[in-house]
Amino acid sequence: MQDTDLKAVREKIRAGEHPGPTSGLASGHVQTNLVVLPEDYAFDFLKFCIRNPKPCPILEVTDEGSPSAPVMAPEADLRTDVPKYRVYEAGELVDEPPDIRGYWEDDLVSFLIGCSFTFETALLAAGLRLTHQDQSKNVPMYVTDRECVPSGPFSGPMVVSMRPYKPDEIPAAVSVSGRYPAMHGAPVHIGEPSALGVKDLDHPEFGEAVTIGEDETPVFWACGVTPQAVALQARPPLMITHSPGHMFITDRRNAEYEV
């Protein structure tokens, strides 16, 4: 929880000495999704996020061409302080570099979007398990049949993440995650996957399937993969994101976003 820890972690990432995922790093600090787009796409993308706040909770938008995030992390550099990036050209993945200074353009706008790590930390603190962690998997994510409200070239279905819980754990899972509306908040769907357009829990579109106990019910949260998937479909000439699990670590604390 110390800021010294945050500083040390950020320096290591910036120096390329921590190429791995960020889960558990600089504990207590908010980690975010990163989406970087040319200015021509920025206003429509921001409107898309505002129209779909459950999957796309916007925490910060930078000035055009600026690599700094004055609200969330004034001293960070968005071009170097994520351990691994993904670079897409016209919707195709072309690189997965540890730093994006070579791709930077003066017209790029960066979006920091809330991430499930914050509510997962709170679920653990409340004594609830995270099945995907217990099974050493990435959380399973599914494409639903719920269309997001479109904006300009951005449209597509909501993506959800799934964590199974026992009937008597579900109320706490709802209320604990619900205290973080800026980090996806409460679940969007509890139970019957087909009612959400999810046909096969064993074959998630992103992440990995987990084994669900017979006494467990799948609980679905709106997922930050939604805005990335939607932005990719628009095939912008350049788009940069974090690589899954390799998040941007901010100065702000999870507790600041608790309602």
Residues 6+ away with beta carbon under 8 Å from 138: 132, 206, 207, 208, 244, 245
As measured in angstroms, the least distance from the Cβ of 186 to a second copy is 8
Interface with a second copy (CB under 8 A): 42-43, 46-47, 50-51, 58, 60-61, 63, 70-71, 149, 151-152, 178-179, 181-182, 185, 259
Residue at 206: amino acid letter: F
As measured in angstroms, the least distance from the Cβ of 78 to a second copy is 15
Q: Give the position of tokens 């570099």.
A: 97
Coil, strand or helix: which one is 117? helix
Cβ closest to a second copy, residue 44 vs residue 216: 44
As measured in angstroms, the least distance from the Cβ of 46 to a second copy is 6
Cβ closest to a second copy, residue 88 vs residue 111: 111
Cβ closest to a second copy, residue 50 vs residue 93: 50
As measured in angstroms, the least distance from the Cβ of 56 to a second copy is 12
As measured in angstroms, the least distance from the Cβ of 171 to a second copy is 15
Cβ closest to a second copy, residue 182 vs residue 209: 182
Transcribe 72-96 into DSSP letters. TBTT--TTTSSS-EEEEETTEEEE-
Q: Give the position of tokens 């999957």.
A: 55
For residues 65 and 59, give the distance between their C-alpha atoms in angstroms, rounded to a whole number: 18
Q: Which tokens is 16 given?
A: 């390329």
Cβ closest to a second copy, residue 46 vs residue 232: 46
